[in-house]
Amino acid sequence: MRRKIPPTSALLCFEAAARSGSFAQGARAMNLSQSAFSRQIQGLEAQTGQTLFKRERQRVHLTGAGGMLLQELAPQLEALEATFYRLRTRDNPYGALNIGTYPTLGSRWLMPRLAELAQALPRLTVNTITYLDNAQVDASLVDLAIVQGDPPWPGFRADLLMPETLVAVAAPGLLEAPPQEAARLLDHPSLQHTTRPLSWQIWFEDLGQALPARPTGPLFSQFEMLIDAVKYGHGVAILPELLVRRELAEGSLTLAHPHRCTPASAYYLLTPQAKTGISRIERVRTWLLEQAPGA
């Protein structure tokens, strides 16, 4: 049965006019004469039985009916465009690929490994996109994303990348020696990350103790700044060990307590469901998962 849908050319002209607010600019974007462009809009208005634009001087504005059509049409056109892109590039191992990650994890864990990926896939360009929390992960912008937390993530395939180990760290000069009682750590400011408000509680509970007092230290929205704050002696923090290995190895940070905590939440590698099966994405996904053992 033939679908009762206006011609795609008319719909594309409508979107171009709606986005630009001008028939003249829309016509240029569609590579049409202004008269041919206007005929496309007129045909669409005739088929819908609605006036889609109101004209004011050199500009056009959507009517209520036009706004409703754009709201429904725009995501459909974007989805169709994305589908054709995936079909064109599905079996192409080259081109570009976007990996999403947190800023500090990207610089300290991902970046050192990308040189090896460049050798394995020299014709692939890898771009990095950063976000501060999982709510900012956009499936339309990333081909792969590294997140910390607990599944599920709707719209994504999730692969366990690596567990997380939390440790208590401080500047070497802050503590004369690691305290025998973990509760004494809270004698110092207990620094925190804004997206990890329960880190202190999780660490103490894993130790088999209740958190003796509410953390009192300042909050930081980025791990890099939090790590620097600890290094400069502003307090003690519970941090992912993989983010402070360099500082622990060089001695600019020290373990404030020997206990290591492995919480239930972990690092996962996400692939947007719509992008599974694409050759270059699958190859990089496999490569990243192979990097994870031992982290």
Do 148 and 284 belong to one domain? yes
| Domain shared by 53 and 100, yes or no | no
Residue 289 has what pLDDT? 95
Answer yes or no: is 270 within a domain.
yes
Give the pLDDT band (50/70/90) at residue 38: very high
Based on the fold, state whether residues 149 and 176 are members of the same structural domain: no
- Band (pLDDT 50/70/90 cuts) for residue 95 is confident
The DSSP annotation for the chain comes to -------HHHHHHHHHHHHHT-HHHHHHHHT--HHHHHHHHHHHHHHHTS--EEEETTEEEE-HHHHHHHHHHHHHHHHHHHHHHHHHHTT---EEEEEEE-HHHIIIIIHHHHHHHHHHSTTEEEEEEE-SSGGG--TTT-SEEEEEE-S--TTEEEEEEEE--EEEEE-TTT-SS--SSGGGGGGS-EEEETT-TTHHHHHHHHTT----S---SPEESSHHHHHHHHHTTS-EEEEEHHHHHHHHHHTSSEEEEEEEE--S-EEEEEEEGGGTT-HHHHHHHHHHHHH-TT-
- The answer to whether the CB of 121 falls within 8 A of the CB of 283 is yes
Give 183-203 pLDDT, tens digit per residue.
999 999 999 999 999 999 999
Same domain, 271 and 152: yes
CATH number, residue 255 = 3.40.190.10
- Distances in Å between the Cα of 267 and the Cα atoms of 134, 146, 164 are 12, 7, 7
Residues 225, 184 share a domain:
yes
Whether 172 maps to a domain, the answer reads yes
Please report the pLDDT score of residue 81 as a whole number: 78
Q: Does residue 1 sit within a domain?
A: no
Q: Does the pLDDT at position 86 exceed 70?
A: no
Query: Average per-residue pLDDT in the chain?
Result: 91
Segment 32-43 shows an average pLDDT of: 95
Residue 217 has pLDDT above 90, yes or no: no
Q: Which two tokens mark 102?
A: 């947190």
pLDDT value of position 293: 65
Instruction: Please indicate, yes or no, whether residues 73 and 204 belong to a single structural domain of this protein.
Output: no
Quick one: 108 and 153 in the same domain?
Answer: yes
Q: Is residue 3 part of a domain?
A: no
Domain count, the chain: 3
Same domain, 176 and 157: no
CATH number (domain holding residue 66): 1.10.10.10
Tell me phi and psi for residue 270, to 5 degrees.
-105, 140
Same domain, yes or no, for 18 and 81? yes
**Residue reference for tokens 């694409």:** 278
Q: What is the pLDDT of residues 224-265, one digit of tens each?
A: 999 999 999 999 999 999 999 999 999 999 999 999 999 989
Do 207 and 248 lie in a common domain?
yes
Is 44 in the same domain as 65?
yes
Q: Which residues span the domain enclosing 54?
A: 8-89
Domain end call among 56, 72, 89: 89
Q: What is the mean pLDDT of residues 172-183?
A: 83
Whole-number Å distance between alpha carbons of 248 and 54: 66
For residues 133 and 246, state if they share a domain: no
Q: What is the mean pLDDT of residues 21-25?
A: 93
